[in-house]
């Protein structure tokens, strides 16, 4: 049996040497990971994100209210002046601390040092991607563990099933004419307008991805034209009719089974912080590395997420069964 001696210089042996090698490596890794984008978890596209606060904030207090009062006719010597007033309800939005990091072994450090190579970004990228996936899920669906809801399943948002007037009294769009499908969508867009007395007008429509694909692929000829249902919808909807602005239509896989009895759900809402917003006071960030055992270095990661706050639930509408 032959033994080969490895000099001390070739072995990153003590904590000081390990830290001297690891620190610039992790700086490069973390900088590279910060530049990576994950479009599939782009929760900021779905609703306004409030990043006020920091990693250690426990939550926020907000007030939802309405005005009250009526103008009355008075006599010139009247003493019965009517007054305006406000009614407010206080709510508490709680934040939740969570974490996800990664680790390096002494073997990995030494192999990289011996070969003069940089440590890879794979572990940090995986941690960041999983963290982004977690925030996306928390914003969209909430958390059963923390008993909070998200953008698509808040119990205070008005909910209804679309009319069952498709073939065989079905609610499914695949059994309905283009006119009935457009009717269903415009009912969802109209609900918040009427419920808020025209103070909130939905400018965003979320559809299950399969339903959006169906609208984009199904012809709808009007006056001899060659439109699809989607193209006709983009030009003819309640929001565009009132504001002359384009309605934003987004497809989401999360809506395929979000409705009652696991049916497909569409969501119409005004995407403004006055109506709905997501709280993320502490976006995912990596902590300094530390040696947690004789052969392992850990890089912790923290995030502080507050979830979705529906300030004006009537500014949204859920329609199921599509």
- DSSP assignment, residue 148? B
pTM over 0.85: no
- Per the structure, how many domains does the chain have? 2
pLDDT in tens, 31-81: 777 666 555 688 999 999 999 999 998 887 766 655 667 788 787 777 778
What's the confidence (pLDDT) of residue 157? 96
Q: What percent of the chain lies above the pLDDT cut of 90? A: 57
* Whether residue 196 is found in the same domain as residue 259: yes
DSSP states of 108-153: HHHHHHHHT-PPPSHHHHHHHHHHHHHHHHHHHT-BTTTTB--SS-
Range of the domain at 129: 14-56+103-148+278-309
* Whether residue 118 is found in the same domain as residue 46: yes
Last residue of a domain, one of 225, 245, 271: 271
What lies within 8 Å, CB to CB, of 129 at 6+ separation is 36, 38, 41
pLDDT in tens, 194-204: 999 899 999 99
Give me the residue label for tokens 């033994």.
3
């Amino acid at each position: 049996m032959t033994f080969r001696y490895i000099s001390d210089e070739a072995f990153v042996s003590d904590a000081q040497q390990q830290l001297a090698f690891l620190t610039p490596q992790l700086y490069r890794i973390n900088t590279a990971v910060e530049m990576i984008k994950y479009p599939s978890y782009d929760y900021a596209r779905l609703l306004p994100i409030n990043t006020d606060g920091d990693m250690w904030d426990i939550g926020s207090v907000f007030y939802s209210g309405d005005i009250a009062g009526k103008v009355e006719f008075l006599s010139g010597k009247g003493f019965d002046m009517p007054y305006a007033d406000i009614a407010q309800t206080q709510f508490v939005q709680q934040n939740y601390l969570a974490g996800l990091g990664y680790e390096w072994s002494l073997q990995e450090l030494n192999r990289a040092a011996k070969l003069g190579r940089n440590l890879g970004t794979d572990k940090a990228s995986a941690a960041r991607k999983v963290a982004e996936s977690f925030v996306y899920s928390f914003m969209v669906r909430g958390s059963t563990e923390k008993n909070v809801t998200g953008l698509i399943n808040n119990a205070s948002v008005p909910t209804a099933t679309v009319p069952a007037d498709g073939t065989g009294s079905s609610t499914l769009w695949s059994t309905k004419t283009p006119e009935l499908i457009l009717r269903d969508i415009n009912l969802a867009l109209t609900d918040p307008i009427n419920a808020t007395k025209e103070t909130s007008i939905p400018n965003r429509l979320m559809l299950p991805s399969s339903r959006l694909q169906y609208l984009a692929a199904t012809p709808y000829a009007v006056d001899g034209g060659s439109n699809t249902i989607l193209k006709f919808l983009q030009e003819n909807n309640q929001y565009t009719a009132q504001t002359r602005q384009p309605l934003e239509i987004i497809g989401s896989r999360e809506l395929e089974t979000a409705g009652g009895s696991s049916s497909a759900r569409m969501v119409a809402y005004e995407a403004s912080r006055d109506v709905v917003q997501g709280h993320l006071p502490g976006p995912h960030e990596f902590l300094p590395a530390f040696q947690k055992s004789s052969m392992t270095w850990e890089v912790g990661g923290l995030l502080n997420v507050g979830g979705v706050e529906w300030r004006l639930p009537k500014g949204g509408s859920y329609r199921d069964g599509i």
